[in-house]
């Protein structure tokens, strides 16, 4: 299988009556993503944004356990400081594409959303989950800095809760996520994707210029702090990976998991 064919299998795109349904399809790794998967997702988001035939975007994962477990640690453990800086630029491209997306974006959380997957979910407009849709920022447990995660959580939840979630690395239950407003809809597992598609269609029926201008304003209002955060993330991850702690902790975790 070629690299292109492999990544198309891992990030599946399907037009559902004008809604682009994108599915992270790597269930044997809890849909954890790597650089080719992130690059394909950026391409799909940018393409959908410019395609008049696509009116909305839904992102979900394959399997009952995880929307996405976040960064593939097998990839992350190989980074040095220079690669870590490139890695942050990959996230800048993905998060930037999501922030600039001018149409409805709904996240269908079929299970766990951890680390960068939690951050990605928070950058969507609406989130739908079920009782097993735990969410959180466990980077500290892998020896990693939560630079972008802290910023996104601070914007969504406030400083106090962002600090607590970053430093504990705990995963919040779906019930807690719903109570604090980062899950908008809590439904039965089999209803997650249908509900997300229905919401996407409902939002796509709104006056398109008003929708677009609202989303442009959301992005502009937070652009300066986003840019500062990405620059800080580049420097912090360079420092951490140069020191070697993330690689060591990730390697230890993977060895225990074997």
**Each residue's pLDDT tens digit, 47-95:** 999 999 999 999 999 999 999 999 998 898 899 999 999 999 999 999 9
Residue 71 is given by DSSP the state: B
- In degrees and rounded to multiples of 5, residue 238 shows phi and psi of -60, -45
Question: In CATH, what number does 3-190 get?
Answer: 3.90.226.10
Q: Are 53 and 102 in contact (CB under 8 A)?
A: no
Tokens read off for 59: 């992102």
pLDDT of res. 257: 72
Q: What angle do CA 198, 199, 202 make, to 5 degrees?
A: 90
Q: Could you give the CA distance from residue 170 to residue 52 in angstroms, rounded to a whole number?
A: 41
Provide the whole-model pTM: 0.96
Annotated domain spans of the chain:
3-190
Q: Could you give the CA distance from residue 229 to residue 119 in angstroms, rounded to a whole number?
A: 13
- pLDDT tier at 243 (50, 70, 90 boundaries)? very high
Phi-psi sector, 91: left (phi>0), alpha (psi -120 to 50), beta: alpha
- pLDDT tier at 1 (50, 70, 90 boundaries)? low
Strands (E), 62-197: 66-68, 105-109, 112-114, 126-129, 135-136, 171-172, 185-186
């Amino acid at each position: 299988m070629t690299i292109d064919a492999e990544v198309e299998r891992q990030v599946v795109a399907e037009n559902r009556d004008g809604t682009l349904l994108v599915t992270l399809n790597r269930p044997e790794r809890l849909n954890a993503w790597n650089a080719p998967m992130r690059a394909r997702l950026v391409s799909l988001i940018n393409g959908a944004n410019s395609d008049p035939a696509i009116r909305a975007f839904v992102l979900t994962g394959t399997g009952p356990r995880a929307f996405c477990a976040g960064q593939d640690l097998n990839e992350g453990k190989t980074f040095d400081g220079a690669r870590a800086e490139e890695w942050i630029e990959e996230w800048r491209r993905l998060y930037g594409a999501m922030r600039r997306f001018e149409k409805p974006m709904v996240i269908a959380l079929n299970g766990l959303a951890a680390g960068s997957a939690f951050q990605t979910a928070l950058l969507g407009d609406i989130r739908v989950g079920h009782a097993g849709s735990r969410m959180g920022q466990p980077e500290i447990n892998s020896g990693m800095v939560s630079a972008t995660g802290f910023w996104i959580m601070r914007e969504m939840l406030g400083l106090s809760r962002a600090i607590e979630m970053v430093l504990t690395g705990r995963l919040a239950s779906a019930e807690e996520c719903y109570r604090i407003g980062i899950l908008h809809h809590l439904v039965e597992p089999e209803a997650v994707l249908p509900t997300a598609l229905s919401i996407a269609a409902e939002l796509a029926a709104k006056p398109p210029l008003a929708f677009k201008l609202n989303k442009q304003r959301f992005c502009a209002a937070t652009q300066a702090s986003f840019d500062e955060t990405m620059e800080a993330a580049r420097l912090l991850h360079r420092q951490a990976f140069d020191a070697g702690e993330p690689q060591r902790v990730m390697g230890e975790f993977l060895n225990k998991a074997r």
